A and B are shown apart, each in its own frame.
Chain A
Amino acid sequence: MEITAVFYLLPALIMFCAGVYGFITRRNMIAILISLELMLNAVDVFFVVFNRYLHPGQLEGMFFTLFAIAIAAAETALAIAIIINIFRATKNVDVRGLNEMKF
């Protein structure tokens, strides 16, 4: 049996769709952020698999993934700072309870 690109792409696609499902159904802001991380990581796997199978010897997909990981780390740190700030102001991290921009 030969492991072709599709064998890696389909699990990553299911991971992305799980992220979409979680992003829509979750109510806790941190759970939404976890779903977002799932989607980001699925796209990273896509980049790497396309790079490895379609353009071996080039490094574009790998460096896109590298920068995507760095930016995802920055984004997560800022988002968690915002969530903790909101929690301090309203004592709640449920998105349904947040319908004002100013506290």
Chain B
Amino acid sequence: MESVGSIIIYVILALALVVFSIMAVTTRKILRAATYLLFTLFAAAGIYFQLDYEFLGAVQIAVYAGGIVVLFVFSILLTSKPGDNSEALSSKSRLTGLIAALAMLLVTGAALLSRCELFAARPEMQNPDMHLLGSVLMGTGEGQYLLPFEAVSVLLLACIIGGVVIARRR
């Protein structure tokens, strides 16, 4: 049995997730789309907090909301004038998009709703503390993630070099 407060917070987060993600893909001003994306990412971070993954929610806010959305806003302001409307969609492309999205929604939704184990109550869990997270991230044993961690560090280095090489002025 959930408390009334957590149900209210859940309803707010779920509504924000749905409404802002739909607005992000339907608004015609590109800067507004980036802002709605920011709100959607905050709602996802709130869901992580509500599911007891505090570290993940903090990473989501720091990397996505603090880093990626700022990149988006910079590149939008570099490539288009603020206040520009994108041109109206043709009904054909809108129909194609709606059919693809609704077909995906129906098929996946039916698959999700047919699984009875997804209707079970939330099991008890100890919040993963920083000691546990650190040892899992830095260990080499079973279920530990040192190799992917190092691979991601090489990937980020390659990404930095690639970004500088691609975007520099020739």
Cβ–Cβ contact B118 & A9, under 8 A:
yes
Asked, given contacts A24-B93, A25-B97, A37-B68, whether A7 binds B10 with beta carbons under 8 Å apart, the answer is yes
Q: Collect the chain A residues with CB atoms within 8 Å of residue B53's CB.
A: 48, 52, 62
B residues sitting closer than 8 Å to A (CB atoms) are 1-2, 6-7, 10, 14, 17-18, 21-22, 24-26, 30, 33-34, 37, 40-41, 44, 47-48, 51-53, 56, 59-60, 63-64, 67-68, 71-72, 74-76, 78-80, 86-87, 89, 93-94, 96-98, 100-102, 104-105, 108-109, 112-113, 117-126, 128, 132-133, 136-137, 143, 145, 148, 152, 155-156, 159, 162-163, 166-167, 169
A residues sitting closer than 8 Å to B (CB atoms) are 1-22, 24-28, 30-31, 33-35, 37-38, 41-42, 44-45, 48-49, 52-54, 56-60, 62-63, 65-67, 69-74, 76-78, 80-85, 87-88, 93
Q: How far is the CA of A1 from the CA of B8 in the complex (A)?
A: 11
Cβ–Cβ contact B14 & A11, under 8 A:
yes
